[in-house]
Amino acid sequence: MTGLVIVGAGGFARETAQAVVDAGEFDLLGHLDDNAELHGTEVDGVPVLGGCDLVHDLPGALAVICVGNPRDYAARARLVRRLGLPAERYATVVHPTAAVSATSRIGPGSVLLAHCVLTAAVRVGAHVAVMPHVVLTHDDVVEDHATLTSGVRLGGGVRLERGAYVGSGALVREGTTIGAWSQIGMGSSVLGDVPPGEVWVGSPARRLREAGTPALDELATPTVGGPLR
């Protein structure tokens, strides 16, 4: 069984660890985290082996990066860039209760937690976080580093551009585009396109303000490759 390290030791990382254990596909070696106070301790019974850069000393292990929060949802992209690992070093973690259709595709480093549904021809990029009870319907496209928190529902043909963050329980109308590094507030209903780098909230969702500095900095950072098809 291939070894796996989870980069991060916070809430998302702990949830991913439980998904790894439940799926039984990988040998969970432990967490890596830059918080030195955690080194040598255990989180939910899983050891914290050292800092994030220790992944380079474990060439036989796969990795998955599980960091970020609503205040800094660009953290995952920065860490991917910092570590500079090739795509083949990243695992894809899918909880055994997730329903992923045969026509859907999931990129390296992405995590799908319990009871997610991908119905038909869904495309999920690399390093995407999909929390419990998210429903992605036909022809949805979720680009790299996006985050869909618990209970999000996307109508058919929705596109989440790179790094977009969708808050818990949000609904997105079919055919809508959520711009890169934008953020949708929890419980919002999105009925039209959202420009890049903005925060939208409410039902129907409206512009609240610009996204925070970490997201705007990431929006201005050149990316490798074109948009996900």
Confidence band of 159 (pLDDT split at 50, 70, 90): very high
What mean pLDDT is predicted for residues 192-210? 98
Would you state the pLDDT for residue 223? 79
| pLDDT score of 183 | 98
Q: Are 28 and 7 in contact (CB under 8 A)?
A: no
Pick the residue with more confidence: 64 or 229?
Answer: 64
pLDDT in tens, 110-138: 999 999 999 999 999 999 999 999 999 99
- Under DSSP, is residue 124 helix (H, G, I), strand (E, B) or coil? strand
* Mean pLDDT for the stretch of residues 10-38: 97
Q: What is the pLDDT of residue 108?
A: 98
Q: Tokens 């929890």 — which residue? A: 186
Which one-letter amino acid corresponds to residue 153? R
Residues 46 and 30: their CA atoms lie apart, in Å, by: 6
Cα-Cα-Cα-Cα torsion 6, 10, 12, 13, nearest 10 degrees, comes to 10
Instruction: Tell me which residue of 54, 65, 78, 71 sits closest to 107, measured CA to CA.
Output: 65
For residue 82, give the 3-state DSSP assignment: helix
Q: What is the pLDDT of residue 142?
A: 98
At residue 225, does pLDDT exceed 80? no
Contact 159, 145 (CB under 8 A): no
* Spatial distance between the Cα atoms of 174 and 199, rounded to a whole number of angstroms: 20
- Is pLDDT of 162 > 80? yes
Mean pLDDT of the chain: 96
Residue 180, pLDDT above cutoff 80: yes
d(CA 15, CA 98): 14
Question: How many Cβ atoms sit within 10 Å of the Cβ of residue 81?
Answer: 12
Give pLDDT, residue 85: 97
Beta carbons of 190 and 176 less than 8 angstroms apart? yes
pLDDT value, residue 226: 63
Taking the C-alpha atoms of residue 208 and residue 221, their distance in angstroms, rounded to an integer, is 23
pLDDT, one tens digit per residue, over 27-82 is 999 999 999 999 999 999 999 999 999 999 999 999 999 999 999 999 999 999 99
Neighbouring CB atoms inside 10 A of 134's CB total 24
